């Protein structure tokens, strides 16, 4: 479970909320014992962008916990009533004071341990007008050699940046679907088995 159990039922005000599997269900839910209301909690979508300017990438230094002072791509929880693209543009505007265009979905990363899904877009930075928003200490363009790999906030961000710099060598950018779990590295990419035809 990755949510706080409600203290009081939002339907009837009762404090008698228990965790159990309702009839016909196969997940443990928070259920109000007085009115029978069942609470459903679903994963959150984190939407963001990898803003590109020529050979450089725009990163934000976090001014909030978790990972205060670490670098990240502009990203945050998707809001209700917006599309993924609108969310990525909004987060880029809010955290980096920047405008982006030509968005292309790049990495979709499931984090089942914390019930989150990241959806990150490659995007062109529209101009060099950027500035730190309230959730950023600073915003800066980095070449590949300048990326502070040890100071990145999240594995989702380092995985996305690694793919990007690798793909940039070939100029081909597929969309990646990944799952990251606690204390486990991502599954290695499928590679072609070497066959020795001489034996």
Q: Which is nearer to Zn ion, 31 or 111 (CB)?
A: 31
**Contacts of Zn ion in 36-95 (CB under 5 A):** 37
Which stretches does DSSP call E strand in the chain?
A: 17-20, 29-32, 38-39, 44-53, 56-62, 71-72, 75-77, 100-111, 116-125, 136-142, 176-179
Q: Which is nearer to Zn ion, 9 or 125 (CB)?
A: 9
Report in angstroms how near the CB of residue 39 gets to Zn ion at its nearest: 10
Total residues at interface with Zn ion (CB under 5 A): 8
Using CB under 5 A, which of the segments 33-41, 48-56, 105-113, 189-197 binds Zn ion?
A: 33-41
Write out the DSSP string of 140-189. EEE-GGG--GGGBS-HHHHHHHHHHHHHHHHT--PPEEEE--TT-PPPPP
CA proximity to 60, closest of 43, 76, 78, 73: 73
* Token code pair at residue 108: 């979709």
The region of 6-14, 95-103, 123-131, 190-198 touching Zn ion under the rule CB under 5 A is: 6-14
Q: Which of 35, 38, 64, 104 binds Zn ion (CB under 5 A)?
A: 35
Q: Which is nearer to Zn ion, 11 or 102 (CB)?
A: 11
Residue 15 CB, shortest distance to Zn ion, in Å, is 9
Q: Which stretch binds Zn ion (CB under 5 A): 24-32, 44-52, 77-85, 122-130?
A: 24-32
Q: In this structure, what token pair is assigned to residue 148?
A: 């502070």
Instruction: Tell me whether residue 10 or residue 81 sits nearer to Zn ion (CB atom).
Output: 10
Among 2, 5, 8, 11, binds Zn ion (CB under 5 A): 11
Q: Is 2 in the site for Zn ion (CB under 5 A)?
A: no
Exposed, middle or buried, 23 (CB in 10 Å: 0-12/13-18/19+)?
A: exposed
Phi-psi bin for 13: left (phi > 0), alpha (psi -120 to 50), beta?
A: left
Task: Report the residue from 1, 2, 8, 12 that binds Zn ion according to the rule CB under 5 A.
Answer: 12
Phi, psi of 20 (to 5 degrees): -160, 170
Distance CA 122, CA 92 (A): 12
Among 31, 32, 52, 98, binds Zn ion (CB under 5 A): 32
Q: Would you tell me which residues interact with Zn ion (CB under 5 A)?
A: 9, 11-12, 14, 32, 34-35, 37
């Amino acid at each position: 479970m990755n949510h706080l159990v409600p203290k009081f039922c939002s339907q009837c005000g009762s404090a008698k909320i228990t965790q159990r599997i309702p009839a016909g269900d196969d997940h443990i839910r928070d259920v109000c014992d007085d009115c029978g209301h069942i609470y459903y909690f679903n994963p959150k979508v984190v939407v963001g962008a990898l803003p590109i300017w020529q050979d450089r990438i725009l990163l934000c230094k976090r001014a909030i916990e978790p990972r205060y002072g670490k670098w990240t791509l502009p990203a945050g929880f998707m809001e209700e009533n917006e599309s993924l693209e609108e969310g990525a543009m909004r987060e880029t505007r809010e955290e980096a004071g920047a405008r982006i265009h030509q968005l292309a979905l790049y990495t979709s990363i499931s984090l089942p341990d914390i019930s989150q899904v990241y959806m990150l877009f490659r995007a062109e930075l529209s101009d060099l007008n950027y500035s730190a928003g309230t959730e950023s200490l600073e915003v800066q363009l980095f070449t590949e050699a300048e990326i502070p790999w040890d100071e990145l906030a999240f594995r989702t961000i380092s995985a996305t940046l690694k793919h990007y710099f690798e793909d940039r060598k070939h100029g081909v950018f597929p969309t990646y679907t990944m799952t990251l779990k606690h204390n486990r590295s991502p599954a290695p990419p499928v590679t072609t088995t070497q066959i020795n035809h001489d034996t």
